[in-house]
Chains A and B, each alone.
Chain A
Amino acid sequence: MATDTINTNINTRGAAQHTYDAIVIGSGISGGWAAKELCEKGFKTLVLERGRNIEHVKDYPTMLKAPWDFEHRGRMPNAFLKENPLISKAAGFGEDTAHFFIQDKDHPYVQEKPFDWIRGYQVGGKSLTWGRACQRWSNYEFEAPARFGYGADWPIRYADVAPWYAHVEKFIGVCGNNDGIEAMPDGEFLPPFELNCVERHLKQSFIKHYKNRHLVQGRWAHISQPNDIHEQQGRGRCQSRNLCMRGCPYGAYFSSVSSTLPWAAKTGNLTIRPFSVVHSIIYDEQKNKATGVRVIDTNTREVTEYLARIIFVNASALNSNLILLNSTSNRFPNGLGNDSGLLGTHIGFHLYRGFVNAFIEGYEDKYYYVRNPVECIVANYRNLGKQETDYVGGFTTFSGASRVRGAVKPEDPQIGATFKEAMSEPGRWEVYMYMQGETIMKQSNHVRLSKAEKDQWGIPLLVTSVGYDDNDEKMVKDFLNQSCEMLEKAGGTILNRIDNQQPPGLDIHEMGGARMGADPKTSLLNEWNQLHHCKNVFVTDGACMTSTGNQSPSILYMALTARAVNYAAQEAQKGNL
Chain B
Amino acid sequence: MNRRDALTATAALLGGAIIGGQAFLSGCIAEKTETGLFSEADLAFLDEVGETILPTTEKSPGAKAAKIGTFMKTIVTDCYDDAEQAIFLAGMGKLKDLSLKQYQRSFMQLNADEKTKLVTSLDQEATSYSKNKPETEPEHYFSMIKQLTLWGFFTSEPGATEALRFVPVPGRYEGCVDYVAGDPAWA
The residues of A with any CB-CB pair to B shorter than 8 Å are 66-68, 71-79, 81-82, 85, 88, 91-94, 130-133, 193-197, 199-200, 220, 239-242, 244, 352, 355, 364-375, 398, 400, 403, 405-406, 413-417, 419-421, 423-427, 432, 434, 436, 507-509, 552
Contact = CB atoms under 8 A, between A and B. Distances in A.
Nearest to B75: A72
Which residue of A75, A244, A507 has the most chain B CB atoms within 10 A of its CB atom?
Answer: A75
25 contacts: A66-B160, A66-B168, A67-B160, A67-B187, A68-B155, A72-B75, A75-B20, A77-B79, A78-B78, A82-B23, A82-B24, A91-B3, A132-B1, A195-B175, A195-B176, A239-B170, A240-B172, A240-B173, A242-B5, A372-B173, A375-B2, A405-B12, A405-B164, A416-B53, A417-B57
Given A72-B74, A421-B57, A424-B184, A91 B1 contact: yes
B2 A81 contact: no
Given A67-B187, A507-B1, 12 more contacts: A73-B155, A75-B20, A194-B176, A200-B175, A241-B168, A368-B173, A371-B173, A420-B54, A425-B182, A425-B185, A432-B4, A432-B7
B134 interface: no
B174 interface: yes
Interface string B39-55: 00000000000001111
B6 to A, nearest CB: 4
Nearest to B77: A77
Interface stretch (B93-101, B102-110, B146-154): B146-154
B7 to A, nearest CB: 6
A486 B50 CA distance: 42
A91 B160 contact: no
Given A68-B155, A370-B186, A239 B79 contact: no
- B interface residue count range (under 10 / 10 to 19 / 20 to 34 / 35 or more): 35 or more
Contacts of A239: 169-172
Nearest to A400: B4
B8 A432 contact: yes
Given A416-B52, A436-B1, A367 B179 contact: yes
A73 B152 contact: yes
A91 B6 contact: yes
Contacts of A423: 54, 150, 154
A74 B23 contact: no
B58 to A, nearest CB: 9
A373 B163 CA distance: 23
Contacts of A417: 55, 57
